[in-house]
């Protein structure tokens, strides 16, 4: 199923856990900042909408999506962080550089989650074009930041 078939901002909110005392790190890559800032805004707004306190949301930036893994490790090792949301947008270029970034950050974030036993959410768009990114950062397919935030909340309920 693609995002074209499932809006990223439409999801079930049944049985969400109480996250009023949970602390979230929101890491935002600076590359494609028009996209990533929209994703980050969506993530933070969704966290607030579902009971997270503003003072419990720590937003930090990293240069690019490749740096999200290390940034997630820095945040996940903190005892005062319960979940990490990693936000990025890697747009396909002329070379295979995007493939290497995407694979590295997907595996890197997974490794951090398993190492620190905390939800680390893959909120990274990997579009072919800037328009596809716009469509998934508050456009016709919703906002992947919303999806990443609700995923973090649901995963804390699992723990």
Ligand X SMILES: CC(=O)[C@@H](O)COP(=O)(O)O
Ligand Y SMILES: Nc1c(NC[C@H](O)[C@H](O)[C@H](O)CO)[nH]c(=O)[nH]c1=O
Say whether 46 sits in a helix, a strand or coil.
helix
Binder among 97, 115, 130, 159 for ligand X (CB under 6 A): 97
Q: Is 90 in the site for ligand X (CB under 6 A)?
A: yes
Structure tokens at 95: 């070379």
54/94 with CB nearer ligand Y: 94
Binding track, positions 114-143, relative to ligand Y; x by CB under 6 A:
------------------------------
Residues 9-18: contacts with CB under 8 Å, at least 24 apart? 9/42, 9/142, 9/143, 9/146, 9/147, 10/142, 11/146, 11/147, 11/150, 13/50, 13/150, 15/157, 16/50, 16/51, 16/150, 16/153, 16/154, 16/157, 17/153, 17/154, 17/156, 17/157, 18/51
Torsions phi, psi of 8, nearest 5? Answer: -70, -15
Binding piece for ligand X, criterion CB under 6 A, among 49-57, 72-80, 86-94, 145-153: 86-94
Q: Is 115 in the site for ligand X (CB under 6 A)?
A: no
49/100 with CB nearer ligand X: 100
Considering only residues 52-71, where is the footprint of ligand Y by CB under 6 A? 63-67
97 is catalytic: yes
Indicate the annotated binding residues for (2S)-2-hydroxy-3-oxobutyl phosphate.
Answer: 94-95, 136
User: By the criterion CB under 6 A, which residues form the site for ligand Y?
Assistant: 29, 31-32, 63-67, 88-91, 101
Catalytic center residues: 97
């Amino acid at each position: 199923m693609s995002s074209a078939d499932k809006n990223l901002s439409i999801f079930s909110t049944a049985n969400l856990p109480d996250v009023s005392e949970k602390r979230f790190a929101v890491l935002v890559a600076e590359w494609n900042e028009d996209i990533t800032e929209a994703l980050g805004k969506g993530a933070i707004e969704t966290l607030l909408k579902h009971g997270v306190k503003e003072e419990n949301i720590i937003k930090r930036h990293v240069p690019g999506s490749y740096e999200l893994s290390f940034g997630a490790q820095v945040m996940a090792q903190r005892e005062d962080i319960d979940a990490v949301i990693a936000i990025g947008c890697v747009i396909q270029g002329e070379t295979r550089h995007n493939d290497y970034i995407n694979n590295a950050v997907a595996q890197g974030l997974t490794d951090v989650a398993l190492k620190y036993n905390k939800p680390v959410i893959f909120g990274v768009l990997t579009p072919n074009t800037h328009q596809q990114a716009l469509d998934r950062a508050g456009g016709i397919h919703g906002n992947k930041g919303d999806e990443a935030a609700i995923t973090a909340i649901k995963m804390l309920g699992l723990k």
